[in-house]
Amino acid sequence: MKLGTRGSRLALVQAHAVAAALSAAGIESEIVEITTSGDRGVAGDKARWIDTIEDALERGDIDLAVHSAKDVPAASLLRPGMRLSAVLGREDAADVLVGVDSLDALPEGARVGTASLRRRAQLLAVREDLQVVELRGNVDTRLRKLREGQCDALVLAAAGLRRLGLEREIGATLDPAVFVPAPGQGALAVEGREIPSVLVDPAADAALRAEREVVEALEATCDTPVGVHHDGVALHAFVGLPDGSAWLRDTVATTGDDAAALIVDRLDAMGARELLREAEAAA
């Protein structure tokens, strides 16, 4: 089977993990590196990180596309005939601080680097004095920028650091019930017409589907700070403004199939859609 992936170090580590799982099941595979629009510096929504991989999948040049699940747009935007499933075991979904051992340890006005509107909103909701610096690039690039002094700390995904063997960089883990992760964070997803059952992790897949259902029901976009995380015990959600001046957070303590619909109803009652519209207008 031909596995399509981006050529970044993290993407290749993830693709090799999928290849190893296939090999253990007696299925030979080959990894095909593909440059996406995002890799070429094209601006836009998250689809730019998977667009050319999906093109190759649609043409039949590859059999499966390996994605970081948080990079995949809503189900309604998947290519016709394609399925998406969470595969292997989900890595730690939490956000972490790098460069400091707690938020409280940051001095007033400290510069924290991130390119995520969600992380910006959550940081400022807790510490309005912080300067949130837009910092882009892959994990290695962001770590280099931190060491160069472009910021005092970073917020990154624990999953990426762990998969790259960079756990030593983690200064503190941010509570995912407060700093609610991005939908799909920590999960690997495979897209294709047929996905080998040996790859699919039922628990990770169910969690990913619930998280994506919430985002789609709220009609959230890349311009809206939204976090959704299913930890196997409860479903957590966050909606806010990029400047942290207004936000909503809720938790539904159920793992049932109705968890997503229930938390969407509760968020709606609290005014989540109005907040999302305001966030999008401010973007």
pLDDT at 208 > cutoff 90: yes
**What's the pLDDT at 200?**
97
Q: Which residue has the tokens 């593909």?
A: 34
By the 8 A CB rule, do 248 and 270 touch? yes
Q: Which range among 66-80, 96-110, 171-185, 230-244 shows the weakest confidence by mean pLDDT?
A: 66-80
| The CA-based dihedral angle spanning residues 86, 89, 94, 98, taken in that order and rounded to the nearest 10 degrees | -120
Q: Which residue has the tokens 């996905």?
A: 195
Nearest CA to 157 out of 107, 229, 205 is that of: 229
Taking residues 193-217, what's their average pLDDT? Answer: 95
Q: Which range among 13-22, 41-50, 146-155, 191-200 shows the weakest confidence by mean pLDDT?
A: 41-50
Q: Which three-class secondary structure state does DSSP give residue 256?
A: coil
Q: What is the 3-state secondary structure (H, E, C) of 65-120?
A: EEEEHHHCCCHHHCCCCCEEEEECCCCCCCEEEECCCCCCCCCCCCEEEECCHHHH
**What's the pLDDT at 182?**
95
> Is the residue at 202 inside a domain?
no
pLDDT at 257 > cutoff 90: no
Residue 136, domain CATH:
3.40.190.10
> Is the residue at 168 inside a domain?
yes
**0.85 exceeded by the pTM?**
yes
Nearest CA to 133 out of 107, 153, 160 is that of: 153
Taking residues 203-210, what's their average pLDDT? Answer: 94
**What's the pLDDT at 44?**
67
Nearest CA to 93 out of 255, 215, 204, 190 is that of: 204
Answer yes or no: 71 catalytic.
Answer: yes
Domain range enclosing 111:
95-173
Catalytic annotation, pick one of 71, 95, 152, 205 = 71
What band does 222 get if pLDDT is binned at 50, 70 and 90?
confident
Nearest CA to 2 out of 46, 57, 42 is that of: 57
When the pLDDT of each residue in the chain is averaged and rounded to a whole number, the result is: 93
pLDDT at 188 > cutoff 90: yes
> Is the residue at 183 inside a domain?
no
Query: In this structure, which long-range contacts are made by residues 114-119, counting pairs with CB atoms below 8 Å and at least 24 apart in sequence?
Result: 114/154, 114/155, 116/155, 116/182, 117/222, 117/223, 117/224, 117/225, 117/242, 117/279, 117/283, 118/180, 118/182, 118/225, 118/226, 118/227, 118/238, 118/240, 119/95, 119/155, 119/179
**What's the pLDDT at 39?**
81
Sign of torsion, CA 263 268 269 273?
Answer: positive
pLDDT at 273 > cutoff 90: yes
Q: Which three-class secondary structure state does DSSP give residue 253?
A: coil
More confident residue, 256 or 54: 54
> Is the residue at 77 inside a domain?
no
Q: Which residue has the tokens 């259902």?
A: 213
Taking residues 194-211, what's their average pLDDT? Answer: 95
**What's the pLDDT at 52?**
92
Residue 159: C-alpha distances to residues 86, 116, 144 (Å): 14, 16, 19
pLDDT at 158 > cutoff 90: yes
pLDDT at 72 > cutoff 90: no
What band does 43 get if pLDDT is binned at 50, 70 and 90?
low
pLDDT in tens, 80-101: 889 999 999 999 999 999 999 9
- Which runs of consecutive H residues, i.e. helices, occur in the chain? 9-24, 51-59, 117-126, 139-147, 158-163, 202-218, 259-270, 272-282
By the 8 A CB rule, do 49 and 36 touch? yes
Complete edge-to-edge strand list for the sheet that includes strand 95-98: 131-134, 111-114, 153-157, 95-98, 170-173
**What's the pLDDT at 85?**
95
- What is the domain count for the chain? 1
How far apart (Å, rounded) are the C-alpha atoms in residues 118 and 222? 9
